[in-house]
């Protein structure tokens, strides 16, 4: 028996977390089976076709836009030297601090018919005013969501490019491959796990988004889930729609791991890439491109928020905001510690075994990122209620105190939910870094009698530190921006900035929501900026090879 456990230790560890993560999802899936047939038939006939079409358009649009933006920006800032590069390389991550739902209400406010831009065009050039495209449409949503999450691809692609070493690229150039040809035939393929990891984050984030699409009144799977719940008050129909989401994600995961099998991406003979200096004209275009993207994704939204904050400051500001900020940060830290702990254990056990069943189980653990937060929270409520009943039964035997609930309405619940929801964001950077650990390194360690837990703490953890820090920051920022789960499961007195933004925007009070929004953005900027300073640490890279 002990032997069996020992042999399957990694599998068992993964399975433990998988059960923990999957159980709320299972609650959802199971209640999906009891769907009220009448409502489901209606949804299938009148609602579903549009949802599928819209969701597919949105996903394809956002994936291709973020891929183009993320890869091109990463390529420019990693391999070339141009005016402003050292600044752009740091600030291009900042849009992550702006939640997609905030970006959405800013851009619809600016560009819709009654907004300042169209009003200005109507008063100055009335003849071209009717040609202005409708922002509340597929392209508008795609643009806004892409602008707020392209930094995922940029971040992952950059770290892939930078840890690549120059030998491959030099080899390609020595074979007279041009710059673009090198990019498409060597650089991008070599950075595939990173780029893939970034795109998967984008994919799941888009699938789960509710805030941004609902500002645009653009119906997707996620809005369908909410509609089934809020409109029909049918949790089972909502669950049925949500289980389709889960199925899609699992399918994508499994195909991905199938294609990734047996590929190794570590390079031998690491040496940092020397950036090529651009000539003036090229430098100008590179600068212009980065400026436009950064301007649209960060400067414009921040200025709009500041402008609104000035007009609403007196109405909105009170001491309450200190508490909101404190709550946001405390929940962020708790959730991050928990999420990253699980992410490291999972990535490690998945990597060192590499067998199929462990792989599948760990993939299951990552599916939470595509679940709309509220759906996850409903599943969680079911679990909590059940656990509480069991626990109260146990406590009752000993004390007989009038305890109404042990888990319910407590802070325990939120970090667990955040972990389920954002594990992917923490796991991917850790796991990508692990693909750089060569199997020969393990063998060398084993010869030196460094095995098991020691291998993890002495050799692997220091090597994947960068992945851990990256993951922690991504998860922290995600949790700060998280709204639906917090809204549903927070204990009394644990309102966050995101909750405040929801309260005000759902009443159409965009100006007043600017104060909590700008506070959230500022609080998110600090960890994101610190993330860019990670790149300076060269020590750890030298070891590879």
Partner 1 sequence: MKQSVFIVLISIFIFTGYAAASEKELVVYTARKEHLIKDLFEKYEKEHGVKIIYITGKAAVLLQRILSEGSGTNADILLTVDAGNLWQAVQKDILVPVESKILKENIPSHYRDPENRWFGLSVRARTIVYNTNAVKKADLHSYEDLADAKWKNRLLLRTSKKVYNQSLVAMLIATVGEDRTTKIVKGWVTNLAAPPYSSDTKVLEAIAAGQGDVGIVNTYYYGRLMKKNPDLPLAIFWADQDDKGVHVNVSGAGILNHSKNKEEAVRFIEWLSAKDAQKIFADANMEYPVNTQVAPHADVKTWGTFKESTVNLAKAGQLQADAVKLMDKVGYK
Considering only the stretches 154-162, 173-181, 231-239, 452-460, report the one whose residues sit in contact with partner 1 under the rule CB under 8 A.
Answer: 231-239
Of 43, 101, 387, 63, give the one whose Cα is nearest residue 242. 43
Q: Residues of 324-335 as b/e, b for ≥16 C-beta within 10 angstroms?
A: bbebbbebbebb
Residue 385 near partner 1 by CB under 8 A: yes
- Alpha-carbon span 415 to 289, nearest angstrom: 39
237 vs 365 by CB, closer to partner 1:
237
- Is residue 406 near partner 1 by the rule CB under 8 A? yes
Q: Which of 112, 205, 478, 482 binds partner 1 (CB under 8 A)?
A: 112
Least distance from partner 1 to the Cβ atom of residue 486, Å: 10
Residues 335-374 that bind partner 1 (CB under 8 A): 374
The verdict on 84 binding partner 1 (CB under 8 A) reads no
CB of 90: closest distance to partner 1 in angstroms?
A: 35
Closest distance of CB 101 from partner 1, Å: 11
Q: How many residues bind partner 1 (CB under 8 A)?
A: 60
Does residue 398 belong to the site contacting partner 1 (CB under 8 A)?
no
110 binds partner 1 (CB under 8 A): no
Cα–Cα distance measured from residue 229 to residue 239, given in angstroms and rounded to the nearest whole number: 9
Work out whether 508 is an interface residue with partner 1 (CB under 8 A): yes
Please tell me the number of Cα atoms within 13 Å of 423 on its side-chain side.
Answer: 27
Q: Give 114 or 279: the residue with its C-beta nearer to partner 1.
A: 114
Cβ atoms of 539 and 462 within 8 Å: the answer is no
* Cα end-to-end span (Å), the chain: 39
Backbone angles phi, psi at 81, to 5 degrees: -110, 120
Measured from the CB atom, the residue of 76 and 413 that comes closer to partner 1 is 413
Query: Among residues 173, 323, 360, 405, which is the contact residue for partner 1, using CB under 8 A?
Result: 405
Measured between alpha carbons, how far is 30 from 34 in angstroms, rounded to an integer? 7
CB 331 within 8 A of CB 414: yes
CA 226 vs CA 217, 223, 231, 373, 486: distances in Å: 13, 5, 8, 11, 16
Is residue 539 classed as helix, strand or coil in its secondary structure?
Answer: helix
388 binds partner 1 (CB under 8 A): yes
The answer to whether 132 contacts partner 1 (rule: CB under 8 A) is no
Is 490 one of the binding residues for partner 1 (CB under 8 A)? yes
Give the residue, chosen from 21, 25, 47, 156, that forms a contact with partner 1 under the rule CB under 8 A: 47
Q: At what angle do helices 497-505 and 465-481 cross, to 10 degrees?
A: 40
HSE, CB side, 13 Å, CA atoms: give it for residue 424: 24
387 scored as a contact of partner 1 (CB under 8 A): no
Binding site for partner 1 (CB under 8 A): 39, 42, 46-47, 108, 112-114, 118-119, 134, 136-137, 214-217, 219, 223, 226-227, 229-233, 235, 374, 377-378, 381-382, 384-385, 388, 392, 402-406, 408-412, 487-488, 490-493, 495, 499, 503-504, 506-508, 510
């Amino acid at each position: 028996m002990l032997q069996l456990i020992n042999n399957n230790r990694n599998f068992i560890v993964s399975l433990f977390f998988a059960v923990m993560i999957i159980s709320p999802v299972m609650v959802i899936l199971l209640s999906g089976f009891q769907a009220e047939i009448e409502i489901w038939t209606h949804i299938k006939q009148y609602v579903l076709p549009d949802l599928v079409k819209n969701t597919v358009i949105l996903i394809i649009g956002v994936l291709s836009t973020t891929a183009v933006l993320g890869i091109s920006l990463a390529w420019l800032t990693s391999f070339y030297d141009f005016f402003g590069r050292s600044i752009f390389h740091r600030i291009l991550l900042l849009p992550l601090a702006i939640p997609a739902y905030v970006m959405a209400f800013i851009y619809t406010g600016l560009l819709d018919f009654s907004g300042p831009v169209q009003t200005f065009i109507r008063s100055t050039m009335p003849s071209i005013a009717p040609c202005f495209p409708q922002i509340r449409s597929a392209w508008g949503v795609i643009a806004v969501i892409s602008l707020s999450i392209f930094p995922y691809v940029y971040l992952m692609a950059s770290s892939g490019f930078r840890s690549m070493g120059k030998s491959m690229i030099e080899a390609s150039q020595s074979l007279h491959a041009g710059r673009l040809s090198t990019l498409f035939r060597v650089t991008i393929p070599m950075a595939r796990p990173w780029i893939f990891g970034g795109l998967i984050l984008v994919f799941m984030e888009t699938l789960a988004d509710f805030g941004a699409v609902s500002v645009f009144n653009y119906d997707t799977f996620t809005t369908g889930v909410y509609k089934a719940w809020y409109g029909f008050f049918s949790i089972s129909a909502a669950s049925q729609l949500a289980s389709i989401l889960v199925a899609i994600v699992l399918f994508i995961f499994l195909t991905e791991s199938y294609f990734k099998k047996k590929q190794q991406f570590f390079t031998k003979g690491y040496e940092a890439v020397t950036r090529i200096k651009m000539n003036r004209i090229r430098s100008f275009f590179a600068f212009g491109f980065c400026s436009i993207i950064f301007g649209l994704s960060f400067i414009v939204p921040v200025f709009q928020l500041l402008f609104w904050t000035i007009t609403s400051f007196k109405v909105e500001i009170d001491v309450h905001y200190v508490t909101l900020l404190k709550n946001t940060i405390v929940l962020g830290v708790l959730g991050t510690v928990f999420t990253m702990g699980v992410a490291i254990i999972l990535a490690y056990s998945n990597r060192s075994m590499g067998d199929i069943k462990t792989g599948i189980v760990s993939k299951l653990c990552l599916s939470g990122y595509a679940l709309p937060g509220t759906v996850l929270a409903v599943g969680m409520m079911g679990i909590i209620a059940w656990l509480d009943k069991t626990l109260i039964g146990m406590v009752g035997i000993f004390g007989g105190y009038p305890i109404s609930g042990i888990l319910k309405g407590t802070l325990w619940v939120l970090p667990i939910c955040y972990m389920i929801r954002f594990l992917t964001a923490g796991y991917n950077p850790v796991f990508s870094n692990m693909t750089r650990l060569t199997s020969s390194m393990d063998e060398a360690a084993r010869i030196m009698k460094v095995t098991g837990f020691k291998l993890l703490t002495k050799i692997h953890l220091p090597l994947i530190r960068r992945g851990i820090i990256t993951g922690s920051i991504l998860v922290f920022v995600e949790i700060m921006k998280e709204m639906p789960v917090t809204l549903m499961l927070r204990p009394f007195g644990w309102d966050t900035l995101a909750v405040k933004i929801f309260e005000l925007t759902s009443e159409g009070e965009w100006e007043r929501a600017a104060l909590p929004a700008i506070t959230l953005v500022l609080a998110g900027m600090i960890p994101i900026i610190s993330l860019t300073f990670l790149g300076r640490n060269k020590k750890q890279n030298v070891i590879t090879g």
